[in-house]
Structure 1
């Protein structure tokens, strides 16, 4: 089962910056653009993005010299007092306060080191595929800096809130705060050995499910293996661990938001032909609504599985899946948990079987992804296509598929908000 440890993080020096690190932190590297990087650096040339994103576009490996320059910059910050190292090993309580759908939420997590184990072993489970480019980029950065800068976001089950109670900061002032993209970030260092030990004991029986940061976890495994191949690596060496931000699945602030599908590229076929083919797998009911309703038309409690907007005819439908059992035939190698996913039905049956194979002669439609109703509206108007407004997957979906050893369809989960990078840096030597 998972093993977590406290560690002595490097972090921005409060004697130089005070507790407010709003100008120092950034979103994870993989959601930033070149323009985002310049905007952050215009606020402070010592923003963490200067070392965490040495090459743009993100997810692409750059030339060796950009990673060497990032390492040199990090070393300068360590030497000139920009960064300080914690006096004692700590677990770092991390709260994010944000609004969604007119409600305020607080998502409670903590930063720690997690012992690296291959996916599916040692109680650590992935839920999505990873690709080569981002891992190569992250590996080059880790090798150059001997640091892990961005945390992996992990989930664990704690229905009674035992870990959160142990780490409740009460009225204590945060050691660090930051306002980032309308999200308030607060962090407290916990150095009490008794509390740390109690948290370790609680976590020792809880599987960890990777929510966000599969590339970072895979890169940390590669880094560890390369260090082992270069010589003996003690079992307690920092390279055998990865920086994680861990959150209880049951935390009221832990939301998974939906990602909608916009389909287009139907060749000479009109959308009515496409809609007709989709009726083979959907029971469609006309509904009142426009793209302005995308964010509200399909709540999680709705008896419907999908909302469908046809831009050409300005029609809204609510839909139920009419052939749920078809995935038993189309994907018998997948687990029951996977075959029960809404997105498995959408991709495997509606898109791959009905549209690509039956209607389009093997040429798949173009699929774009939208994480908000406004984005879906813009895309469907631009593409002159059909919007499939989806429900979010649930924590139970993620846990069931992960434990079965399956991986979810692409862009199944959208965890909001993203963890801030720059609150704690994990040294690997």
Structure 2
């Protein structure tokens, strides 16, 4: 995902009275920080204490991670309630306090320890022939109106409130957001020089991804990164709810001078050099059986039965998208696949907002939510009725388990995401999944360390 340079004026010295020589930028401001990291002699296997991002960990995977090592980071990002709380529906604060207690306990025990000096961290992932490198640092938080960090999806209040409560209580950034930008080569040069040295850590997670991490502390190299990023803006590839969390907590603490809440931990990837993959996020409608979903469509859609298995049906979906227009694949998880295409234009005109760009109005996610979910199927927008799954096979299994309907989508092209974001237009929530995503647990930013 790429974005153009920021407006002119980046890098103008302010010479403010409280901070002489400070440089104000119209672009990205990425600062070093002292990371909390697992000490290998205390955990043995670094891979056993890492986790995928919190929002892609399903209940079975969560249990596997918790049992892989008593110090797995999933115990912090998806905490259980305090042991003494035996209620059927424990208060969220109990879970947050449990995470804060574990974080403090692991630091006292030396399981997690701060690095000796502040650094930017070069992070590398390799898997299946894909190589991705970027910089982990503490990024200045700015609202959408500043045009420096651009969201491309809407957010849901409930997950934002959950992440706010967790971060407020733990006083830590537990996992980096994934942001993309296009630089002028300076930061990339620093990365390429850094990876020639000995890494701080190397590990391979169970999905076969190889991870390496280096620290950048040299003042000249840090200055090179600062100059490069000062004329750039970024697009949020993964972590919209956590970015909204950063914004909300910054507002809460605006009265504090030099507040640590003014920055948040991110992984910045220059996609001119390391393009990301874009995948769809699928929906499972738990309380809508497939036969009811199909009967409600009436004559306003073309419906075609396509043969399985899942891979063949997805190929049919891809072929339909190549011909243009909206297309969805519906399945009950038991081998039945129905391809929906060619909605009645009058149906779209009646139920899709007219005050948005035409490209947005014809997105599959827009049509799915505005037309099918809200109008045709009248599915309530809540976790009891709609599940969001990143893997098509997982969506198929969940439909079979619940007796509902999986709605499988084709990935949107990244150029579409970029164009809409640059116009200040956000897509429906959970429209895209960018990857590879950074592993959680390799680097933690404690706000109490600055």
TM-score (norm 1): 0.79
C-alpha distance in 2, partners of 1:344/1:150?
A: 29
Q: Does 1:165 align with 2:189?
A: yes
Match of residue 243, structure 1, among 257, 265, 268: 265
Q: Please give the secondary structure, in 2, of the residue aligned with 1:199.
A: helix
Q: CA deviation at 1:92?
A: 0.8
Q: Is the 8 A contact 1:91 1:110 kept in 2?
A: yes
Q: Is the 8 A contact 1:51 1:70 kept in 2?
A: yes
Q: Does 1:86 align with 2:115?
A: yes
Number of equivalenced pairs: 408
Q: Does 1:194 align with 2:220?
A: yes
Q: Name the stretch that deviates more: 8-17 or 33-42.
A: 33-42
Q: Is the 8 A contact 2:81 2:94 kept in 1?
A: no
Q: Is the 8 A contact 2:155 2:429 kept in 1?
A: no
Q: Please give the secondary structure, in 2, of the residue aligned with 1:411.
A: coil
- Where do residues 259-408 of structure 1 align in structure 2 (5 Å cutoff)? 259-261=281-283, 273-274=295-296, 276-279=298-301, 290-299=309-318, 302-305=322-325, 306=327, 308=329, 314=336, 317=339, 319=341, 323=345, 326-327=348-349, 330-352=352-374, 355-356=376-377, 369-379=388-398, 388-408=407-427
Partner of 1:40: 65
Partner of 1:4: 30
Partner of 1:223: 249
Distance 1:412 1:210, change over 3 A: same
C-alpha distance in 2, partners of 1:121/1:114?
A: 14
Q: CA deviation at 1:17?
A: 5.3
Q: Please give the secondary structure, in 2, of the residue aligned with 1:211.
A: strand
Q: CA deviation at 1:23?
A: 1.9
Residues 367-407 of structure 1: CA distance to partner in whole angstroms, max 9, x if unpaired? Answer: 65553342344355567777654221222222222232332
Q: Does 1:254 align with 2:279?
A: no
Q: Does 1:111 align with 2:133?
A: no
Please give the root-mean-square deviation of Cα atoms over the aligned residues, in Å. 3.8
Distance 1:56 1:291, change over 3 A: farther
Structure 1: gaps of 5 or more residues: 357-361
Partner of 2:103: 74
Partner of 1:426: 445
TM-score (norm 2): 0.76
Distance 1:191 1:377, change over 3 A: same
C-alpha distance in 2, partners of 1:225/1:194?
A: 33
Q: Please give the secondary structure, in 2, of the residue aligned with 1:210.
A: strand
Residues 117-166 of structure 1: CA distance to partner in whole angstroms, max 9, x if unpaired? Answer: 123325112222333333333333333332211222212234x7653333
Q: CA deviation at 1:188?
A: 1.4
Q: Is the 8 A contact 1:115 1:240 kept in 2?
A: yes
Match of residue 158, structure 2, among 133, 140, 144: 133
Distance 1:267 1:204, change over 3 A: same
C-alpha distance in 2, partners of 1:309/1:64?
A: 39
C-alpha distance in 2, partners of 1:123/1:61?
A: 39
Q: Name the stretch that deviates more: 312-321 or 182-191.
A: 312-321
Q: Is the 8 A contact 2:289 2:403 kept in 1?
A: no
Q: CA deviation at 1:421?
A: 1.5
Q: CA deviation at 1:116?
A: 1.0
Q: Is the 8 A contact 1:299 1:391 kept in 2?
A: yes
Distance 1:419 1:274, change over 3 A: same
Distance 1:384 1:302, change over 3 A: farther
Q: Please give the secondary structure, in 1, of the residue aligned with 2:202.
A: strand
Distance 1:276 1:119, change over 3 A: same
C-alpha distance in 2, partners of 1:266/1:25?
A: 36
Partner of 2:10: none
Q: Is the 8 A contact 2:138 2:263 kept in 1?
A: yes
Q: Please give the secondary structure, in 2, of the residue aligned with 1:228.
A: coil
